Amino acid sequence: MSENALDRGIADLCKSWTGFNSDTIVQCRAVLARLTASPRSESWLAELHERKAPTTELYRDPEQGFILLAHVETKGLYRNPHNHGNGWVFYALQHGVVEMSTYGQFKEQVNGEGLVSRGAYTMKAGDCSAFLPGDIHDTLCVSEYSLMFRLTSCDFSVEKRAGRLQQFKPVTRAHV
């Protein structure tokens, strides 16, 4: 049986994953960038595009705990500003266009906490972004659909249940 781009990518991620450090960030970004360039003729990728399932788990590492997911989002889907608690994540776009905005959190005297935009940028196929613990961002799919690989350092449902993963109210976004 021949190895496909997904199998090679998973093997490379397993080799590159050395915990939360700059080497892991640099190496995993490179692996994910290669994965986004996978030929659509490969059956695993063709199936993701055909099914367009919102979330597909591609790999879960039993020792290190990282998870490789595929997400399909449709035009106009907006995900409120959020962080990933103690976790960190990579977003690598395989197809489509997604706008990302990043935010800083501040304390207000009257209204409590607020967010301020650090800026917005457009992700296109082949782009990969990393968000570290506590980084706040939102996403907006602006193409017919997008297919994004998301590599998470841990299971974010655990972060959410523990109250570390925060989701914020929608904000007025400055589009790029």
pLDDT at 174: 58
Q: Which domains are assigned to the chain?
A: 5-161 (2.60.120.10)
Is the pTM value of this prediction over 0.95?
no
**Residue 30 amino acid letter:** A
- For 82, other C-beta atoms within 10 Å of its C-beta total 19
Query: How does DSSP classify residue 163?
Result: T
Task: Count Cβ atoms below 10 Å from residue 32 Cβ, excluding itself.
Answer: 28
Could you give the CA distance from residue 137 to residue 167 in angstroms, rounded to a whole number? 10
Helix or strand or coil: residue 58?
strand
Output the pLDDT for position 108. 73
SS3 88: coil
Residues 6+ apart with CB under 8 A from 138: 78, 79, 80, 81, 82, 100, 101, 103, 171, 173
Could you report the per-residue pLDDT of 97-141, keeping only the tens digit for each? 999 999 998 877 666 678 888 999 999 999 999 999 999 999 999
pLDDT at 112: 67
Torsion of CA 175, 35, 145, 54, to 10 degrees: -110
Q: Which residues of the chain have pLDDT under 50?
A: 1
The position carrying tokens 């607020």 is: 114
| Cα 97 from chain centroid (whole Å) | 13
